[in-house]
Every structure is written in structure tokens, then in C-alpha cells.
Structure 1
């Protein structure tokens, strides 16, 4: 394990398990338009994707303006349903240990700002990050490496000095393409699938004893 100066986290499915709530919101939205989706369809077409991509996949016959309105409705439903979020086990402790050693923290997410504010407030992580990268607002969201490269640039660290935490194929691709050592959370996919997608390590949560090595690699800020 190289010396670590920064940790970069995805949000949905990584710091808190939200896919069941997003599935409920998407199913509710589609039902309003006489459509349906099951868990497999959600995993393939929605989980981890940017809203631009989700709109194209779920409503291919609608134009861009309609996609924006439809996905805004979906996100409002998500916030309505996501009232009892909790952080994954060990997440708060890992971040506290990192901050105590001067390790920088970034959030790199495809989620829209309103959702990010809602989720961070719900799990008690508001104000915990040195920077937040909203991939959905960038010219190239995940799975492009740009969101993670932007996070590294803002933190002033090299990829070899940082670790990313992800759970979805688009997020894993984004992080690995940026050259980051990537830990995958098995909230939505199996360990085997995540390792096959390029994760360097797959864990159920941040309390996994294998992450002790991560803490040992923290370095004090220069």
C-alpha cells in the first residue's frame, strides 16, 4: 500500500445504501407513465449512471428538456422516500481517522446537488469534505475519469497518493481510469463482479479488517 494523502468517496451505494430507495423512486416515476422496471433493469440502466444517461435509457422517445423534467421528478421522489438513511458501518470512523492524520477527503458523485445535500445531512457527513465534485454537472460524468481527475487536482495530490471508494460499474471505471487504487463496496454487486470490473479490493463496509492496512498508510499533512 502506497503512502496515502487523500481519500475520494462516491456517495450513493458507497457511503450509504440507497439503491433500494432509488429503485422505488424510478418505479414510481415509470408507473406514472405506464412503464415498469425490475431490479435487473434498474441495475443495468440506472444504478451509478448520470441523469443524462438515465434519461436516454428510460425515456428514449423524449427530448432533452423532457428528460430534465422527468429526472427532476425522480430525484424529488427519492428525497421524499429517503428519510431514514444511515452511513455504512465504519465510514465515520475511517474519515475521522483520516482527518486526524491530515488526509484530505473528497466526495465524487454523479448525484445532483439537492440529493447530495439531503443525503449528507441525513447521515451526518455534511461539511466533512475538502471538496465535492458533482460529476453530473461536468462535461463528462462517470464513467469518464474526469470527475476523479478533477477531485485529485482540487486536492493537490497524485493518483498514486490516493484511494477511491465506489460501488457501481460507472464509478469503478471512472476511478480506475483516473489511475486510483479503488476499493469497491458490495452494496449492489457481488465481490466477484466488482473485482472483475477492475476493483483492487471489495468489502462489505468500511469496518472490514482489511482496511486496517489503509489506516496504516495515512501520512501526516506536510
Structure 2
């Protein structure tokens, strides 16, 4: 198993940084469908499997990834607006993953600063925070307006570190996609992976998180033996499921 850089496996971290979509809320497939609808409205036939594998990238990157860098960029804003409008219809019904809010509360109770690190739009982040109903333990949150380049660039993780008031060695990033893992690695932050985004264990583990859990509930149950408690990860990622 590949090990991400950082020293949170040896020292108790000061901050827990969390991706949102697919990590705390079960929305990766909602994004997949609404991106497919937006693309279809504008004459693009992109298989949902390809879209799903791109979820986790920021809106500044996903269209180049799906349509190729040479596509006609004049309709990019319209495509992003269409996706946003379709996704916004879910704002009042965003499904929170089992154990997500309890995990945030448990970490805050242990003295960690909880920072939500997302490149979603401000209103998407607000809708997710409302669904989580855990703002009393959230120290800070990012949105698309906070960075120039989104995942897999490290900018978002670096900004989350600034908001947490800690160095890379003092934080652990929790995410569900390979884009999360790569962004954390580029920021020199230890990353814990979750399978709730729909990425296979093998693919996620190969990207380089220190360990992989089934979801936030499993991480909560294994918190005392996790990198978030300053422990070395389990040797076998399947053991943490």
C-alpha cells in the first residue's frame, strides 16, 4: 500500500480537513446524473461512467477532462450553469452519509479543528452544511471562490490548512476520490480515503492514501486506531472496513 507524505501517522494531528461530496454527503452520483443531463442538453454524449470517474475535479477542470482540451470553450459557462441548476434541485434533499455528522463531532470533541475543504460553489457548500447540521463543530469551510485552481491541484488543501492554522504535518485530509488523494499529496498532507464516492478500494488505495475505510461511519468506529488519532495506519486496508 502506498503511503502519502506527512507525519500525522506519528503525531496526533491538530486539524481534520474534509472533502464534502462523496465523503460526508452521498452526492457523487447526483453530480454524475446532473452533469450528464447538462452535457446532453448541450449536445454532448458522454457516458456516465466517465463522468462519475471525473467527479471530484473542480468545475474549472472537469469539462476539459470530459470533452478534451480542444473543445469549444464558448459554452463552458452555460454547461456549468446548467449543471448547477440541475444539482440545486437537490439542495433540500441531500443525503448525509451514515456517521458523517457524528464523526465531525467526535473529532471536535478531541480538540481537532474541523475544516470543510470543498471547491463547490458557495451555495452548494451552504446546502451541504445545512444537511449535515454540524456547524457548531465546524471551524471553517472553503468554496470555489477561495482558490484559483481546483483538485487535483493542492490549492484547496493549502487554503484549508491556512484556515485550520496548522502546517501540513498537523493535519489529515479525508476524501473519497483519487483527485482528493492527489491534491493532499501535493500539499504534503496525509490522506485517509473513503469508499463512499464509488471509487473501488484498489483504485483509491493505488492513488496513495495512508489507509481506506468503507465510509465515515467505519472511520468513526475505528477512530482510536486511525491516523486522525495519531496512529500508524493498518497494514491491510481491508482491515479498516
Q: TM-score range by the shorter chain?
A: 0.7 to 0.9
Distance 1:200 1:217, change over 3 A: closer
Moved more, 199-208 or 74-83: 74-83
Structure 1: stretches of 5+ with no match in the other structure: none
Which residue of 2 is the match for residue 192 of structure 1? 202
Which residue of 1 is the match for residue 213 of structure 2? 203
Which residue of 1 is the match for residue 176 of structure 2? 167
For the pair 1:38 / 2:50, whether they are aligned, the reply is no
State the shift of 1:117 in Å. 1.0
Map residues 60-209 of structure 1 onto 2, 5 A cutoff.
60-63=70-73, 66-126=75-135, 128-135=137-144, 137-187=146-196, 188-208=198-218, 209=221
Q: CA RMSD in A?
A: 2.2
Moved more, 153-162 or 198-207: 153-162
CA distance in 1, matches of 2:60, 2:108: 34
CA distance in 1, matches of 2:85, 2:136: 23
State the shift of 1:216 in Å. 4.3
Moved more, 125-134 or 97-106: 125-134
State the shift of 1:129 in Å. 2.2
Aligned residues: 216
For the pair 1:50 / 2:58, whether they are aligned, the reply is yes
Deviation string 1:6-43 (CA, Å, 9 cap, x unpaired) is 10000011111111111121122122123322232113
Determine helix, strand or coil for the equivalent of 1:131.
Answer: strand
State the shift of 1:194 in Å. 0.8
Structure 2: stretches of 5+ with no match in the other structure: 1-8, 232-241
Distance 1:69 1:128, change over 3 A: farther
TM-score by length of 2: 0.81
Which residue of 2 is the match for residue 212 of structure 1? 224
